[in-house]
Structure 1
């Protein structure tokens, strides 16, 4: 007798078609999921920056000034003999921090970091390994890896899009102070090698340091004459991943007063991977000490760690001085024992976001600046005290809209959308 039951099922061809359709749908969905995740991380990064902005404003409300960048305690008297090892601010010190702390230290209690602030501001903070410490209040110089608070990581200081974590960094940060459109005196500010307030150094600093923050100098909102809404006070920086990234591992072959910003964009970049240095490039901070690259020390006010400037556009190459350049203190910080980590230079902001970076304006607004912002000419030297023409003190920034946004009192009109 004939079996009248009908056998139903998929043929091999039908099964393969279904699998192919599912594969296509998954392929279309995954980029959308990744984009949504990055959008969420970018929003979280922006919120962190807003918290920092609120912290700066609350600090200003409490103390009538902005938090100082490059501040802290001095381990020796002003006027000590310059050049004597152990008495220069650039030397390690376990009993004081030699006024090397970043502005982030001051706002810690204003961004939900009261517990960490209590450790820093009181004696005997714990060591990094958790054991009892015998430190003085405000701690040692910020490159001391044994002092516990300097290795602490605050979620508010980190961008979720940045995957960098752990050693050889101490406590990472993705947010840096804006010093304006010139690197000169960007590390020591108006101080001498022994933290004296020198007349010449102060004059050089006033001419060149045109940003919202000035190293070792008290600044307030009243100093930002161009308007808080028109002035960048902080910028985002990516932390180094040990991959020779041109944005996070600066070259330290820069000669201030001679090398223009275009020097950073020379032939030392890898032609096959423009965002990375060529493998034969040896003058990189990460080659000398892997802990001396962008964003590796949140408490360290030296430029490579917590400074950005509005000279080269966002995500451009970075470069700094070798540190011990003493030929002309007008251009550099002139400490005989300086290491490259104390050098100033061309340090644009950077990020792991697509196409640009976040910046914090003086009024607390967070804006996204694209890599293609108008940035003038990279072949022009920045302003400095002894300069003439485009380098003369008080001149408009040579770095276009980007440079204008970084200066606090140059009376430049911002007439473009950014």
Structure 2
């Protein structure tokens, strides 16, 4: 019967407003649960890339040692010692420039035309680095020198003529005055003074024989964070000063370990505090110290002199952290 068939026909039932809101809420909860896992997976990938970069730098340093029978100097300069602030007449080529041929950047290295250590090395560098080709070369971001976890804007450093590119790795200058050999300091939490020499110093490349504590016990290169404004010279890969491409983790005074949260822990000329509140600097000072830093949660990566990479917890005790940066402190039992 046509009439009854019409009565039995049903229209599709739509979602009610309440049901729609419940579905949306469930989807929101699922996203909230999944997002941290996605972020952790991404950070794990970034951390893995950072570790690979450090392995490449360690291999490059070993190849340099095999070629020249020594590691590169931290930097070359005129006064054979401390380079105050960022004065251009003090700054010559640094370790990161010297390793360019060993990290597949020979073409960039050739632009600088750096010679081995001799009387005119710094003068020639100052000419080449200020010429158009040198300005191009110093502005480059080297993949092997950049940690993907550092989300800071890669704004070039504007000092010393400007247009200096950024990086995230710094040579270990020890835990004292990296520009002086043979100095001794007493780390925070330790009872006696020990030799504080790191693997890198001024105008002189050290060799393996100098590492009497053992190459697996001493840091070669550590992570460093990029300055967040153009006047902050932290993370400038081609500039051989504290915080740019050199760390000397004093483990005394204001500097207490990796990823130090103290607002005065980095003594770097014209630097500014990090916006995320993870530590800052003593502004307006001379370049005397900068601590190893990273944006990896809870750790900082370092490559040891033997080429192995370690993820060091930022809670490491201060004497151990100091001794990891000294190549002949005489207390290797303190090393993890």
TM-score normalised according to structure 2 size: 0.75
Q: Deviations over 1:334-375 (max 9, x none)?
A: xxxxx9685213x21111111121011011111111110011
Deviation, 1:144, is 8.8
TM-score normalised according to structure 1 size: 0.61
Is 1:157 the counterpart of 2:161? The answer is: no
Q: Which residue is 1:167 aligned to? A: 156
Structure 2: runs of 5 or more not aligned: 116-122, 159-163, 186-193, 271-282
Aligned length: 287
- Aligned partner of 2:88 among 68, 92, 98: 92
Q: CA RMSD in A?
A: 3.3
Q: Which residue is 2:221 aligned to? A: 234
Asked whether the equivalents of residues 99 and 216 of structure 1 are also in contact (C-alpha less than 8 Å), the reply is no
3-state SS in 1 of match to 2:333: coil
Written as runs of structure 1 = structure 2, the 5 A alignment for 1:96-111 is 98=90, 100-111=92-103
3-state SS in 1 of match to 2:37: helix
Deviates more, 1:366-375 or 1:5-14: 5-14
Q: Which residue is 2:17 aligned to? A: 12
Q: Deviations over 1:33-92 (max 9, x none)?
A: 1111111111111111111011001111111100111127x5xxx89xxxxxxxx99753
3-state SS in 2 of match to 1:305: coil
Is 1:355 the counterpart of 2:298? The answer is: yes
Is 1:371 the counterpart of 2:290? The answer is: no
Q: Deviations over 1:145-185 (max 9, x none)?
A: 97222212111111111123123451101000111121x3x
Written as runs of structure 1 = structure 2, the 5 A alignment for 1:117-266 is 117-121=109-113, 138-140=125-127, 147-164=135-152, 165-168=154-157, 170-182=164-176, 184=177, 186=178, 189-190=179-180, 209-242=196-229
Q: Deviations over 1:102-133 (max 9, x none)?
A: 2111100000101101111179xxxxxxxxxx
Is 1:293 the counterpart of 2:260? The answer is: no
Asked whether the equivalents of residues 235 and 360 of structure 1 are also in contact (C-alpha less than 8 Å), the reply is yes
Asked whether the equivalents of residues 223 and 302 of structure 2 are also in contact (C-alpha less than 8 Å), the reply is yes
Asked whether the equivalents of residues 141 and 165 of structure 2 are also in contact (C-alpha less than 8 Å), the reply is yes
Over 3 Å counting, the alpha-carbon distance change for 1:32 and 1:232 in structure 2 is: same
Over 3 Å counting, the alpha-carbon distance change for 1:141 and 1:294 in structure 2 is: farther
Distance in structure 2 (CA, Å) of the matches to 1:61 and 1:240: 34
- Aligned partner of 1:409 among 321, 328, 331: 328
Asked whether the equivalents of residues 143 and 300 of structure 1 are also in contact (C-alpha less than 8 Å), the reply is no
Asked whether the equivalents of residues 70 and 99 of structure 1 are also in contact (C-alpha less than 8 Å), the reply is yes
Distance in structure 2 (CA, Å) of the matches to 1:401 and 1:224: 17
Structure 1: runs of 5 or more not aligned: 80-87, 124-135, 191-201, 243-289, 324-338, 376-399
Distance in structure 1 (CA, Å) of the matches to 2:333 and 2:96: 28
- Per residue, is there more helix in 1 or in 2? 2
Larger Rg: 2
